[in-house]
Structure 1
């Protein structure tokens, strides 16, 4: 049963024309640095987003991109807000017309947002194939992201967020549910499965970190390569995480004041973490990335979203174990890839393990058809394991 209607309110996201005019004016007046000094070719992104690529996206953002389309898409799915522990939480909610549908919460990460899942919600809720599983889909905006409130005090780390999701799902009448996530969403999904097995039927995740201190003895060559790549990432490619974990306020001024600075900070990650040879636009359209960036810009959440690193960096409990059925998918160009023997030390009941040939950190945007089918099949395996 749903709780009283005043616990959950409908929400309509509409930017003012003045906000959009201001964005275009700032883009037109942007001061840009000189071009990178590396030569064109395979290493042209080595110093970050190349000037020519940024200029092209900025021009499209100013003259061709349609934010109203994205707002209308959110409205068609259905948007709501509720208050948990004094903080307003925004979420999308698409109920399936199917009587056999199972509740499912999808949790995004950084630099993502609910924009990662907008194009897959309908397929998950109302699949064309009547034999495919269907879901009542809930997509919350993390605290400090999008249209959720910005925490005014410390404490909103992944453990508290997971508990808030249980409260949120309960308010919608979903006292048992499935969970999926990647990046911070995968971390939160892990906490959901480990801390709340009485509510969480099972999980699907693209993040499967084993406990610390695992040995490489006995790993296959591929598994050793995964471990080495993950170690290399955290030693040599994670300056953004260190900055946001230690000084989110400092970088936050640039992210909230400069749309070009915000775009470059986020676009750099879409480029580096996607399964592409050169540009993220090989697999993700400019408009889909700009949906995400514009959401950060209009809600002024560059600083508040960065604080999830301050709250939760390296905070996953080493002793946490997940005993509910788990389906794990590790995409080849993701930034963290953990060998199955390591993952099994934390996720005690892995019922499905997949390592596709393509895809990176943003699979719902890069390989949406595969993502939807994989999520369906993984969650079907999770539910079958409970019978």
Structure 2
């Protein structure tokens, strides 16, 4: 599966800052010190109802991570999946009377278009669950043969008790885990499971549903968590720098994925930092597919909204915060974009070197994009009030905003 084209990232003078970021597993800020190649895995979409603002906010956060690393002159190895077969996708295809493969392809193509418009840097590997099946099957067999998985009526389940470190990503107790498992695709009440929290690794073929040859597992399709584990281990290996996604993935997805990988490899942890973006609400409720209260990037673009304004609307909120999308949020972003473009269109302005360092410092401090925007606002206000005589300053500001914030002025 192919990703989307990369926009050019301008090189800036000076040296970028190393990133400190909030790690869900430890509950605190941790310094990230990757080697020459920083490794990041971000969980991708299940391709229906793409791309809503909640998606965009999540991928914007991890785009900033990449931009901070690139500014330190590191390379970035970024991997993202597409869950192009799963119950919600099949249910939506059945509801709408469309072939599930066609729905997945259509929505993945739309996602690519939106990511391109928003100037999100693409992954080096963009892997669908279906194409990953040949690599998933051997992992499930290994877990089963090691006694870390078991069969129940043809389905294969992972035993969470096989991982001594299970629970260290989310820090939740068993009761909270059970509630979230029921809400987020698990089946804690299924009779016969060794532990209610045990997640499915391989679902035996169901009548009327797609299935693949699973070797000794029989025909079926993979569970959600093992999909990402197989892709991440294949392309990044253990101990990569950042595992990313929305905060709704902390449990069960990232918790279960970490346990799968740790049992398979005997190493801990799967990722050095687990980083999660907040949720976006609309009309007082979390924006979600199940509620249908979605604002789509493609719809905003069709209505003539500049993608740079959409990106500024996302950047106005700290990535870990939960916030609400409103017309005012977008209006403020459109107005800010207009002010910034007017300021950098002038032939000269106030010196900008200090501004570049302010943006760097803000982003290095747990991706504080609102502080970075405020710094640019101050430079623009000086430009409006005083002007300046530095003929290179507007260009420096334009390149810095593009390189570090992904906003083309």
Normalization by structure 2: what TM-score? Answer: 0.29
Is the radius of gyration larger for structure 1 or structure 2? 2
Normalization by structure 1: what TM-score? Answer: 0.30
